[in-house]
Structure 1
Amino acid sequence: MLSINVSASNKPSSSIIAFKMSALSGVYFKSCDRKYRLKTEHNGAITSWFIEVSYHVQMANILAFESFDGGSHKQFRETVSSYSNHDWTWITRPAHSWKWRMVLSAQEMVEDAMRQGVQKPEAIFCTSLTDVAALRSFLPRGWRDIPVILYMHENQLAYPTNDSRDASFAFTNLQSVLTADLAIFNSKWNLDSFIDGIETLLSKSWDTSVHDIGTAIRNNSTVAWVPVELPPSDVVKSRVLHNTDNEGRSELKNATTIVWPHRWEHDKGPDKFLEIARTYSEKLNLRWIVLGQQFKEVPESLQTFQSEFSDRIEHMGYVESKGEYWNWLQRADWVLSTANHEFFGIAVVEALFAGCLPWLPEKLSYRELLPAAARGLSPDSVIDSEPIRCAIHEHLSMAQ
């Protein structure tokens, strides 16, 4: 239960306003007690407001299904499990063959949970590559009314692809969002692009009786950013000693170091990255750090980049150690994104927390991640960097 007591006096007194409401099982913190003192002035009279907030949430047993346990999905699972006070039991599938995961993972994971003898949970949690409607149908009798929370890491309508994509996957997303008791999108961009895409898709059906689908989706959805861990304290402290001037440029031979921390795939814009490197490397005296997950096939543009700019590359390749990863981020002055899509952007947020300035497009989820003063910047901008870094950290505090 959550109780809030508010009194207007020079010292705490009995409450004159009291509210009580049920706390959602998704609240991460088991208990909290806080007292706040606010001062207001009216007609020259100063009044102190004492606000007491306390709540206690009983730990919930959550059965969670992750059908694609890799990349940002896996990082999200590990972070939530580490910092939540609830008891999480995860059933996962490997991170490959995403189409098969959407079609079969619901049955596979429920059967796996039954084989493991998982006890009846108080809530069920799953993510966006799971068919929630199918998941409910495969649950045992007596489990199908358990609240299901769906976390939408991505949607199948706004994802750029060179191949024609079967619309059935988009409708699977739609059925999942409406079948869940609550759908949580990781950004407003993710939610808005999903609604726009579904409305466009449904408009192609000349006799559909489904109307006002956007309202139905919004009524069952909310937005909550991905939880992102802060860098270790030694990274933050070393950032203070970083050799940059007030315009975000390194004082070491006037070079500026840029980090590109993305998956090495077409949707992250490697062609655009090569174009930017060719345009600005010499003009702005740029040095490069290229991180991110690699796959068997490396985009040709990244191979070309490595060949053309070998004398300007400080590091290029995936880093296994998280500590080493943070150290590379700390060495960069700016974080660059050339992504064609970004539903949230964990790698960019980590770089911003590490002190990098944002060289990001003014689209996708990036507009949400940045305060107005930090949008549209580049190493060619004339700025006072420290106030911008402070504004970014304050803006991103909800993602900590």
Structure 2
Amino acid sequence: MSVLLIEAFHGGSHKQLMDLLQEELQDDCVLYTLPAKKWHWKARTAALYFMQTVPASANYRILFASSVLNLAELTALRPDLGKLKKVLYFHENQLAYPVQKCQERDFQYGYNQILSWFMPEHKLAHLEKVIGVKRNGDAYHAEGLPGQQKSSALMKNSNTHCESGLCEAQPGLYTTQHEGLPSPLTVPARLNTSEVSESANPCQEEDKEHLTFNLSHILSGPDYQQRPLHIAWPHRWEHDKDPETFFKVLLKLKEKDLPFHVSILGEAFTEIPDIFSEAKKVLGSSVLHWGYLPSKDDYFRALCMADVVVSTAKHEFFGVAMVEAVYCGCYPLCPKALVYPEIFPAEYLYSTPEQLFKRLQNFCKRPDTVRKHLYKGETAGFSWAALGSKFRSLLAAEPREDL
């Protein structure tokens, strides 16, 4: 068990990555987790929990964790773990997370992330030498790296990882943003997998009748090309995914008597924005599916039945759900912001809610245009078949004395 995997929020894309690492490493790793609930509490206290839970071992060589964990605290509490080579995976940047209310921001979560990859001066110089970055104040600008926005600091890159406090490039893991992040599934190869999430929200029990996707309803009736446009929104039911904008656009389509169906496939947690219950009532018969699907098989089947997948996110550093939907044949519509321009060609991007409305309006009138469309972007590089060996190489590397 030479690789110690720690995940303080074992759900969603965090769990997918850990599952794939376990599969890749097989018997050479051990995993310790906390449930995907009460994220803020996990970010504050996970180090103390794992300090007590992870047993001491002389076999550990590498510690791999997500940035939910305050790595600085853990290594301070457990000096034996501090001696390991460390890989810290950033799913997001907490300093850039959008606030829901106009109130003073709690900087603790971003501060945790900074502490977990803080570098002393002599290592900053080494960083500049190794990966060719130049300092501009407190930010770093990558030189000659395709796909990187020039204004991006290293902290922004979701694929940034840290070895003993030094953020350093690995072959294939720090090129463009989209090449460095794992799309956890090659969908066609895994449509038959089924997994039940332990963190399914009891708040969605009232929608139990919608939890099974009605394939007979979809595959029967009018000719496939003549059915109403089917729109999917496969995101968490939280404010940073901006469900308000999405539903406002759908309600505007409804007001104009445009035909469409919608599937709301994301997972909900304790607090659900009010817009969901309000929109469900108004959308009525336009809703084909409403609620979290614990089975991956059902989830991907639902995506395969959709025509268009929409993101309205205000905070996204990769967007696994959007890429999975493209694998399943959906036409993506994403904001011309965040990570999306690095992944999707320009024709799949919109700048304003009005532009999103106009695109969907046209698709509602001519759904055959998206059903016949062949996606023009590249997706092969996101598959685990392409990225698994890069992670395996990273986790097989020995610590270097100059670090």
Give TM class, smaller chain: 0.5 to 0.7
Q: Which amino acid aligns with 1:137?
A: A
Q: 1-side partners of 2:190 and 2:21: how far apart? A: 24
- Answer whether contact 2:345 2:376 (CA < 8 A) is retained: no
* SS in structure 1 of the partner of residue 63 of structure 2: strand
Q: 1-side partners of 2:341 and 2:270: how far apart? A: 32
CA RMSD of aligned residues (A): 3.5
* SS in structure 1 of the partner of residue 325 of structure 2: helix
**Bigger CA radius of gyration:** 1
Q: 2-side partners of 1:169 and 1:88: how far apart? A: 28
1:225 aligns with 2:181: yes
Q: Which of residues 48, 54, 61 in structure 2 aligns to 1:107?
A: 48
Q: 1-side partners of 2:267 and 2:43: how far apart? A: 22
Which residue is 2:76 aligned to? 137
Which residue is 1:63 aligned to? 4
Q: 2-side partners of 1:360 and 1:62: how far apart? A: 37
Q: 1-side partners of 2:53 and 2:68: how far apart? A: 17
For residues 135-181 of structure 1, give each alpha carbon's deviation from its aligned partner in whole angstroms, at most 9, with x where no partner exists.
2112244x422111100011211111224322232222112122699
1:161 aligns with 2:99: yes
Q: Which of residues 183, 192, 207 in structure 1 aligns to 2:152?
A: 192
Larger RCO, structure (CA 8 Å, separation 6 or more): 2
Q: Which of residues 178, 194, 206 in structure 1 aligns to 2:118?
A: 178
Q: CA deviation at 1:118?
A: 4.2
Q: Map 1:156-305 onto structure 2 (within 5 A).
A: 156-163=94-101, 164-178=104-118, 192=152, 195=155, 222=174, 224-232=180-188, 251-281=224-254, 282=256, 284-305=258-279
TM-score by length of 1: 0.66
Q: Which amino acid aligns with 2:107?
A: A
- How many pairs were matched up? 304
Which residue is 2:64 aligned to? 125
In structure 2, the CA distance between the partners of 1:275 and 1:353, relative to structure 1 (3 Å rule), is same
- Answer whether contact 1:353 1:393 (CA < 8 A) is retained: yes
Q: 2-side partners of 1:258 and 1:361: how far apart? A: 16
TM-score by length of 2: 0.66
Which residue is 2:203 aligned to? none
Q: Map 1:352-371 onto structure 2 (within 5 A).
A: 352-371=326-345
Q: 1-side partners of 2:181 and 2:190: how far apart? A: 26
Q: 1-side partners of 2:119 and 2:35: how far apart? A: 25
Matched-pair identity in %: 29
- Answer whether contact 1:259 1:335 (CA < 8 A) is retained: yes
Q: Which amino acid aligns with 2:12?
A: G
- Answer whether contact 1:66 1:93 (CA < 8 A) is retained: yes
Q: 2-side partners of 1:108 and 1:314: how far apart? A: 42
User: Does 100-109 or 314-323 show the bigger shift?
Assistant: 100-109
Q: CA deviation at 1:99?
A: 3.0
Which residue is 2:209 aligned to? none
In structure 2, the CA distance between the partners of 1:343 and 1:217, relative to structure 1 (3 Å rule), is farther
The runs of 5 or more residues in structure 1 that have no matched partner are: 1-59, 198-215, 237-241, 244-249
Q: Which amino acid aligns with 1:270?
A: P
The runs of 5 or more residues in structure 2 that have no matched partner are: 128-146, 158-164, 193-217, 351-355, 389-403
User: Does 292-301 or 309-318 show the bigger shift?
Assistant: 292-301
Q: 2-side partners of 1:67 and 1:295: how far apart? A: 17
Structure holding more strand per residue: 1
For residues 41-72 of structure 1, give each alpha carbon's deviation from its aligned partner in whole angstroms, at most 9, with x where no partner exists.
xxxxxxxxxxxxxxxxxxx8211111111222
Which residue is 2:393 aligned to? none
Q: 1-side partners of 2:320 and 2:310: how far apart? A: 13
* SS in structure 2 of the partner of residue 93 of structure 1: strand
User: Does 61-70 or 76-85 show the bigger shift?
Assistant: 76-85
In structure 2, the CA distance between the partners of 1:350 and 1:384, relative to structure 1 (3 Å rule), is closer
In structure 2, the CA distance between the partners of 1:363 and 1:254, relative to structure 1 (3 Å rule), is same
1:330 aligns with 2:304: yes
Q: 2-side partners of 1:280 and 1:217: how far apart? A: 50
Which residue is 1:17 aligned to? none
Q: Which amino acid aligns with 2:327?
A: F
Which residue is 1:212 aligned to? none
Q: CA deviation at 1:303?
A: 0.9
* SS in structure 2 of the partner of residue 360 of structure 1: strand
Q: 2-side partners of 1:301 and 1:361: how far apart? A: 20
- Answer whether contact 2:9 2:33 (CA < 8 A) is retained: yes
- Answer whether contact 1:132 1:179 (CA < 8 A) is retained: no
* SS in structure 2 of the partner of residue 295 of structure 1: coil
User: Does 122-131 or 172-181 show the bigger shift?
Assistant: 172-181
Q: 1-side partners of 2:38 and 2:370: how far apart? A: 46
Which residue is 1:391 aligned to? 377
Q: Which of residues 62, 85, 89 in structure 2 aligns to 1:151?
A: 89
In structure 2, the CA distance between the partners of 1:319 and 1:309, relative to structure 1 (3 Å rule), is same
Q: Map 1:21-60 onto structure 2 (within 5 A).
A: none
